[in-house]
Amino acid sequence: MGYSIPQVFDVISKDGTTFKCSIAWVRKFLENNLRWVLRRTTRAAQKLPTNVDEILMQNALRLAHTCRDGVIFDAAFDVNIDQTQITLQPGTTSTYEERGSKQVAVLGAEEKRAFTLVVGLSASGDLLPYQAIYRGKTIKSLPSPSSPGYAECIALGFQFEFSSTDTYWSTFATMCTYVNNILVPYWNTQKERVGASPDQECILRLDVWSVHRSVQFRTWLDQTHPWIKYRYVPAGTTGLAQPADVGLQRPTKLSIKQSQRSDIIGETIAHLKAGNAPTDIRLDTKLGVLCNRSVNWLLAAFKATNRKDLIKMVCLNLFFFYKHRN
């Protein structure tokens, strides 16, 4: 509308306001003129263990026992990490379709190109640098160093890794890199801050992802960093007992989606300004282009969620959740 009939936004109504293309107006327009209504896909809710209260209490006591025996006296020594999939070309769970339609096709629902984002936070309110893992076996699989925001990401300590496999999932090698290059340097800095000894014990909370609980990874941790006490979030309770999952992944993914939409809007507007007809617009969805754009997505998400008040609230709410249930 801004390019076809821009004058509509300049007309002043009787009450002195100008026209705004609100979400409510768009929905009403589509339903009245095209009989389109918003349709959503559904998904099953997470199934909790039948004895979830007992499991959560045991987990809380296990963590308390570890803190007591290891004299873990600073909140920065308690870190939780979580991994999530970020789709490079996001689809949607809803679309507009004619009222009464039995079959609803959603564009991008089968998109498989993605990368893994490893997010870590401490109970003191610190957000650790991101690790992003891309499918591939060479540095050519990674975002270009000339990508917008790349230098700032590196300065913040971000790690861009290729998986060395045919998937983008975390591996033993990438987990070791995360521990050595992100987690341990963070803890060393915090130990210096409070005057703790280099072998001060720290808690690493992990979910039960196969790599995390593998004998190979556990043996490596025990031998390389014996002061890291790894504790697993009970299976089936990540939505209740994992701070990074409970309160941080949602705003992180929301920020990334907003950045992705901004890229799409910007590219579309560039086509329109170039005189291309709307029906002729084809967005650039090449893997390399999306991979390079992901750098700025991550940078924006980090800035949006790197707030001590947000992270502390996540950890505090989890504490009160335990207390309320028990």
pLDDT digits (tens, 9 = 90+) for 271-300: 999 998 888 899 999 999 999 999 999 999
Look at residue 91 in the predicted model and tell me its pLDDT.
65
Tokens of 198: 């280099």
Tokens of 237: 């309770």
Share of the chain above pLDDT 90, in %: 58
Tell me the average pLDDT across 89-118.
68
Average pLDDT, the chain: 86
- Burial tier of 178 (Cβ tally within 10 Å: 0-12, 13-18, 19+): buried
Look at residue 236 in the predicted model and tell me its pLDDT.
83
pTM of the full structure: 0.80
Strand segments (E) across 114-201: 114-122, 131-134, 159-162
Nearest partner of 169 among 214, 129, 201, judged by Cα: 214
Is the pLDDT at 325 greater than 80, yes or no?
A: no
The Cα 262–Cα 268 span in angstroms is 10
Higher-confidence residue: 322 or 254? Answer: 254
CB atoms within 10 A of CB 19: 14
How is 245-308 classified by DSSP, letter by letter? Answer: IIIIHHHHHHHHHHHHHHHHHHHHHHHHHTT--GGG------HHHHHHHHHHHHHHHHHHH--H
**Per residue in 151-176, pLDDT tens?**
999 999 999 999 999 999 999 999 99
Q: How confident is the model at residue 122 (pLDDT cuts 50, 70, 90)?
A: very high
Look at residue 320 in the predicted model and tell me its pLDDT.
44
Range of lowest pLDDT (15-24, 150-159, 178-187): 15-24
The Cα 127–Cα 79 span in angstroms is 10
Look at residue 209 in the predicted model and tell me its pLDDT.
87
* Maximum C-alpha span of the chain: 76
Look at residue 27 in the predicted model and tell me its pLDDT.
77
Look at residue 185 in the predicted model and tell me its pLDDT.
98
Map out the domains of the chain with their CATH numbers. Answer: 53-325 (3.30.420.10)
Look at residue 92 in the predicted model and tell me its pLDDT.
62
Q: How far is CA 256 from CA 108, 248, 306, in A?
A: 16, 12, 14
Is the pLDDT at 115 greater than 90, yes or no?
A: yes
Higher-confidence residue: 47 or 137? Answer: 137
Look at residue 40 in the predicted model and tell me its pLDDT.
59
Q: How confident is the model at residue 323 (pLDDT cuts 50, 70, 90)?
A: very low
Look at residue 159 in the predicted model and tell me its pLDDT.
98
Tell me the average pLDDT across 68-88.
94
Tokens of 193: 């801050």
Range of lowest pLDDT (9-13, 133-137, 282-286, 305-309): 9-13
Residue 168: which region, alpha, beta or left (left: phi > 0; alpha: psi -120 to 50)?
A: alpha
**Per residue in 304-319, pLDDT tens?**
999 998 888 877 665 5
Q: How confident is the model at residue 44 (pLDDT cuts 50, 70, 90)?
A: low
